Structure 1
Amino acid sequence: MNKHAIYHKPKSNFCYPYDKNIIHIRLRTAKEDVEKVILVYGDKYEWNKNKKIEMKYSSYDKLFDYYMISVKPFNRRLAYYFIMESKKKLFYYTEWGILDNHPDQNEIHNHFFEYPYINDSDIHVVPEWVKDAVFYQIFPERFYNGDTSNDPKKINQWGELPKRNDFFGGDLKGIIDRLDYIKDLGINAIYFTPIFESDSNHKYNIKDYKKIDPHFGNLDILKELVEKCHQYGIKVILDAVFNHSGSDFKPFLDVIKNGKNSPYYNWFYIHKWPIKTNPPNYETFSFVAKMPKLNTTNPEVKKYLLDVVKYWMEEVNIDGWRLDVADEIDHNFWREFRKAVKSIKKDAYIVGEIWHNSLPWLMGDQFDAVMNYPFRTACLKFFAYKNIDEETFKKMINQTLFRNTQQVNEVMFNLLDSHDTSRFINRSNKDIKRLILASVFQMTFIGTPCVYYGTEIGLEGEDDPDCRRTMEWNEEKWNKNLHNHYKNLIKLKKEHISLRRGNFKWINDLKNIIGFIRETDNEKILVLINNHENKKNVSISINHHKCIDLINNQKIDVLNKKLKISLPEYGFKIILIRKNDNKIF
């Protein structure tokens, strides 16, 4: 047995409370190296009542296999170790490593792994509504111009290709005017990029954190927008830019003027005074002089920003925050941020902008989820570039799942493109079929999908600033098939609880096909995706006889316990399997 590959760690994504009664236990082994894993668990104070249970083979990636089990601990306490069988030999995995012989019973208490106690405050409780949400990301300056009286002095004609510092006049009134479109698409949650006062089109260099940018509207317009969204059953989250401010932020202007005599000098990371901008002699976001980095370890800065959070949540009744450059801000700030947010609205959604493995932020004391760029990377490689096969894609997706706890995966912010990336359609060589298949996976996979405005009609765009084109409102220029496809997918997701809250499981014995199951106690849905330019025939053993093609709303016959499906080139099927007898697969 490859002992070097064995890994487990309590109080991590390998051992965590899912709720007040259940703990999830995971174990990693070398791929195809272990035949069986037994978990031995009990209460450390009553170890004589311990139990044994076989762990389920759960997943795999390029190098490792993963086992998982849910257990109900005795008295909310859990002591445990593992027994592994490899090549007909038993090994014992304890806190002291891998043993060839069972630990001496007199010394067993020194060998346990432990989750000492499930304290309620240590449980990562995620907002339930997010599991049912389909988000729509809006870059307000480019969505719709509803009020020409607040336009910047110089704006481009709507539809022109954008340059970095262009303005087009999009505003909050424009979003209100187009809420019927958003509702008709099936959207029930919106994420707005920043809307606070700033001299840029993107508003990530904020001048005043408590003022709506005048080119977007005012407080009353925002209140009207949020209220109408709520009337439509649409949640709203705003963008919090707390890593840095704008260079015209009043405290920074005071530092420019007064240097160390400024009461705000330690609000920033100043290397030397007087202030210089080329290159900046102070810390910034990505060397951008107009974005001086805030010192969030400073109690005054922390108090100011948390007051901003309280102001907007109480004044406008928003439903959560997306956090810009979240990984460059100290963890203690985010812990206090979470407490402040959840004290105002318990089910508020907190999603961070982090592009890589984010576990340190996702253990329940900081964020609920992050923007799932690793998910996007896997989808790009498989659907857009077509430079990996089905098996590699599954391994990449499995890696993203095992990086996080189950409750995080259930509300992960899954995206294909955003204001910071080129459009998925452009990465797909403008092949709509590839976007369609990627969207099928996005909408049926575990987690919370987000559609970047215009993706649903085929809006194109290369890297920033081209990915921030104006929304196309001339329906004659839409890809109507794509638009209808998105509407139908979102409708299916809303109608079928298994596509929102069901367990996720691959069907691993399909060749050159992606297949997986989403399942609840009362519903099971099979998803099949053919990412090839030739037809694929699929035969799946099944004990049920009632199956429905949800896209075409047609019954599929099951003959001799075989479900036989013909998938067209770049085709997919979403099949409802009626649960009327034994389990399948």
Structure 2
Amino acid sequence: MIAQHYETREYIYPVNRNTLYLKLYLNSKDNYEVSIIYWKRFHEYQMNSSLMINRSIDGNSPYFTGIIEATEPIHYIRYYFKLSNLKETLYYTPWGIETDQPQKFFEYMYVNSLDLFTEVKSFQGKIGYHLFLDRFYNGNPLNDPSSIVPWDTIPTRENFFGGDLEGLRQKLPYLLDLKIDVLFLLPIFKSHSNHKYDTVDYFEIDEAYGTIDEFKSLVNEIHSHGMKIVLDGVFNHIGYYSSIFQDVINKGIKSIYYDWFYIRGEFVDTEKVNYECVGDYKWMPKLNYASKSLREYIINVGKYWIEEAHIDGWRLDVADEVDYTFWCEFRRELKPLNENLILVAETWKDGKDLLRGDQMDSVMNYKLRELIINFLTHDALTVKRLNNRIEKLFFEYPMITHNVLYNHVSSHDTERVITALHNNQSLLKLAILMQMTLPGLPVIYYGDEVGIDGENDPLCRKTMNWDLINNDIHLFTKSLIELRKSTLALSIGEYKSVFLDFNIYSFLRIYDNEAYLILINRYEKDAYIVFHPADYFKDCKVSNDKVEINTKVAAFGYKLIKMTYNNSLITTNIL
């Protein structure tokens, strides 16, 4: 048996001054009921018990979550874990697994006002759409760059296509019909490149996209439809041609911006590149957040677009490469401006160090994308392994972030999902199904919903082909969005792993008296599943609790099974 819990923010954290969320890892060949036994220091006569939740329906998961609640602000809480089954009762303490009543205890000292993990509830249950303005739609030819190429040209890292803010405004009806709630834009600030990750001026909209007045008007129109908009904050580095870096090139150590960069020597050598860059790319000098004036400047950028244009959040580029203490400061300064503001970190790795309640609200869930694509294309990632890895992924991230995790299957930095799946549309549907039914904030990378293909950058940045839409994929995506938005079980419900068959990946989303069982068959043979709906509702006592459901899941197919429990009967609907 292996048990793991630490008195750190990864394992215990406050969501309000009276409530703590806890996690426990317990790997054992036997199943145990786990309870948290807790009390206030010196008040041993007032012991409390809270049953932990196992993250799988059958209790076989090694991952448990639980809650400690108090009638007063929590301070000096001691606790241990009680593990029970029909054979034995054990205890887990800082000394490990014990058979006798514990003498050593875990302790949580104090919940302070600024310790709290806060939720961005206004983004829960939403659907996102991430788009590259230059490639979405050209609504105003008058602001086209002089080097514009025809819309159907193969993209390169240098060419421009003319998409702009006006184009997005004209296509809002399309996005509203798709039931999109949140728009994420790739960088829109003044820049010399087509991708605009080499910012020249953070306070100016690139002229190829439009004006600040056009942007503010667009934001107002987006808000009028109940939608939100999130901008891309490229704050790890700046553009080579920005006036800031050019000042350092010209003045060297005498520039007031010299300490904003990592420079070896008193002057910038643009040939030998004696300064640090993102990806060792000379056109993107890395910023040094040891500089107090730089911190103030970037915080002012973050505030400006919230106050001036009323944006709803920032997606923060390569956030895991920036000094984490700056993100703490950035959050403290921006959150008071809009309590519903969302901060999303780009990271390709385990992002839990960014989700400690003091930096980000969400991360780009590249780990989930990798699992989905590998499961659908590699036999080595079996159903059992996938189930374990997804359980672990959600266990690693704080529960209050689960419904806002940025879940995508393509991005501007990866090959398109249809390309990753070898142009197999049946597998594409399974990928979209997983994206839309697993916990999180599903974000469509523009064009995925109409079957756009493409290898990695720059081919994953093709223009939106408005005349050649894959209606099958478009209607499938739209129907799943509508289904997800129609039920709290799929949009914000609890996730439970369910193991039914070695050839079927299955899981449950449950909210109150409604549940959806999702069955996914990525194999070449049909599969037949038997299950009992009563197993999926806690303390279920109904007249049909022995009912058995048999269903076939076709090769490369899926089933969604809706179950409703009304205290006397479970109704089942196979979709």
TM over 0.5: yes
The root-mean-square deviation of aligned C-alpha atoms, in Å, is 2.3
1:523 aligns with 2:520: no
Deviation of the 1:6 alpha carbon: 2.1
Counterpart of 1:491, as a letter, is: E
Q: Per-residue CA shift, 1:429-478, capped at 9, x if unaligned? A: 0101111111111111111100000000000010111100111110xx22
Deviation of the 1:389 alpha carbon: 1.5
> Among residues 19, 40, 52, which one is paired with 1:43 in the alignment?
40
Match in the other structure for 1:81: 80
Match in the other structure for 1:297: 290
Match in the other structure for 2:500: 509
Counterpart of 2:165, as a letter, is: L
1:580 aligns with 2:566: yes
Q: Per-residue CA shift, 1:8-66, capped at 9, x if unaligned? A: 01232322224444322222123425644343211113121113455343359xx9822
Match in the other structure for 1:357: 350
> Among residues 436, 443, 446, which one is paired with 2:439 in the alignment?
446
Runs of 4+ in 1 over 4 A off after TM superposition: 85-91, 582-585
- Is the contact made by 1:236 and 1:320 (CA closer than 8 Å) also made in structure 2? yes
Counterpart of 1:568, as a letter, is: A
Please give the TM-score of this superposition, normalised by the length of structure 2: 0.92
Match in the other structure for 2:541: none
Deviation of the 1:258 alpha carbon: 0.7
> Among residues 210, 216, 223, which one is paired with 1:223 in the alignment?
216
Identify which range, 460-469 or 82-91, moves more after superposition: 82-91
In 2 relative to 1, CA 560–10 (structure 1 residues): closer, same or farther, beyond 3 Å?
A: closer
> Among residues 24, 29, 36, which one is paired with 1:27 in the alignment?
24
- Is the contact made by 2:55 and 2:391 (CA closer than 8 Å) also made in structure 1? no
- DSSP-derived class of the 2:565 partner: coil
Identify which range, 86-95 or 71-80, moves more after superposition: 86-95
Q: Per-residue CA shift, 1:402-439, capped at 9, x if unaligned? A: 11110011211111010010001101001011111111
| Aligned-partner Cα distance in 1 for 2:18–2:80 | 19
Match in the other structure for 2:401: 408
Q: Per-residue CA shift, 1:462-514, capped at 9, x if unaligned? A: 0111100111110xx22111000011111111111111111111222334112
In 2 relative to 1, CA 64–511 (structure 1 residues): closer, same or farther, beyond 3 Å?
A: closer
Q: What does residue range 536-575 of structure 1 map to in structure 2 within 5 Å?
A: 536-543=527-534, 561-575=547-561
- DSSP-derived class of the 2:55 partner: strand
Match in the other structure for 1:421: 414
Match in the other structure for 1:550: none
| Aligned-partner Cα distance in 2 for 1:582–1:240 | 52
| Aligned-partner Cα distance in 1 for 2:545–2:80 | 46
Deviation of the 1:518 alpha carbon: 1.3
1:70 aligns with 2:63: no
Q: What does residue range 86-165 of structure 1 map to in structure 2 within 5 Å?
A: 88=87, 91-103=90-102, 108=103, 111-165=104-158
Deviation of the 1:156 alpha carbon: 1.5
> Among residues 236, 239, 245, which one is paired with 2:229 in the alignment?
236
- Is the contact made by 1:32 and 1:65 (CA closer than 8 Å) also made in structure 2? no
Q: Per-residue CA shift, 1:308-339, capped at 9, x if unaligned? A: 11111111110000000101111221011111
In 2 relative to 1, CA 523–88 (structure 1 residues): closer, same or farther, beyond 3 Å?
A: closer
1:14 aligns with 2:11: yes
Counterpart of 1:532, as a letter, is: Y
| Aligned-partner Cα distance in 2 for 1:65–1:559 | 27
In 2 relative to 1, CA 15–544 (structure 1 residues): closer, same or farther, beyond 3 Å?
A: closer
| Aligned-partner Cα distance in 1 for 2:272–2:483 | 52
> Among residues 264, 271, 274, which one is paired with 1:271 in the alignment?
264
| Aligned-partner Cα distance in 2 for 1:416–1:485 | 16
- DSSP-derived class of the 1:290 partner: coil
Counterpart of 2:320, as a letter, is: D
Deviation of the 1:582 alpha carbon: 6.0
Q: Per-residue CA shift, 1:214-236, capped at 9, x if unaligned? A: 11111011112111111122100
| Aligned-partner Cα distance in 2 for 1:282–1:583 | 69
* Runs of 5+ consecutive residues of structure 1 not aligned to the other structure: 546-557
Counterpart of 1:24, as a letter, is: Y
| Aligned-partner Cα distance in 1 for 2:55–2:154 | 47
Match in the other structure for 1:464: 457
- DSSP-derived class of the 1:46 partner: coil
| Aligned-partner Cα distance in 2 for 1:456–1:336 | 37
In 2 relative to 1, CA 184–294 (structure 1 residues): closer, same or farther, beyond 3 Å?
A: same
Counterpart of 2:82, as a letter, is: I
Match in the other structure for 2:469: 478
| Aligned-partner Cα distance in 2 for 1:380–1:95 | 39
Match in the other structure for 1:206: 199
Deviation of the 1:278 alpha carbon: 4.0
Q: Per-residue CA shift, 1:195-243, capped at 9, x if unaligned? A: 0000001100000010000111110111121111111221000000110
- DSSP-derived class of the 2:42 partner: helix
In 2 relative to 1, CA 165–583 (structure 1 residues): closer, same or farther, beyond 3 Å?
A: farther
In 2 relative to 1, CA 279–210 (structure 1 residues): closer, same or farther, beyond 3 Å?
A: same
| Aligned-partner Cα distance in 2 for 1:308–1:372 | 26
Counterpart of 1:369, as a letter, is: S
> Among residues 249, 253, 261, which one is paired with 1:260 in the alignment?
253
Q: Per-residue CA shift, 1:137-190, capped at 9, x if unaligned? A: 001111111111111111111111111111111111111111111111111111
- Is the contact made by 1:372 and 1:415 (CA closer than 8 Å) also made in structure 2? yes
Deviation of the 1:542 alpha carbon: 2.4
In 2 relative to 1, CA 582–383 (structure 1 residues): closer, same or farther, beyond 3 Å?
A: farther
Deviation of the 1:560 alpha carbon: 6.3
- DSSP-derived class of the 1:305 partner: helix
Match in the other structure for 1:382: 375
| Aligned-partner Cα distance in 1 for 2:140–2:427 | 37
Q: What does residue range 306-321 of structure 1 map to in structure 2 within 5 Å?
A: 306-321=299-314
| Aligned-partner Cα distance in 2 for 1:342–1:310 | 9
Please give the TM-score of this superposition, normalised by the length of structure 1: 0.91
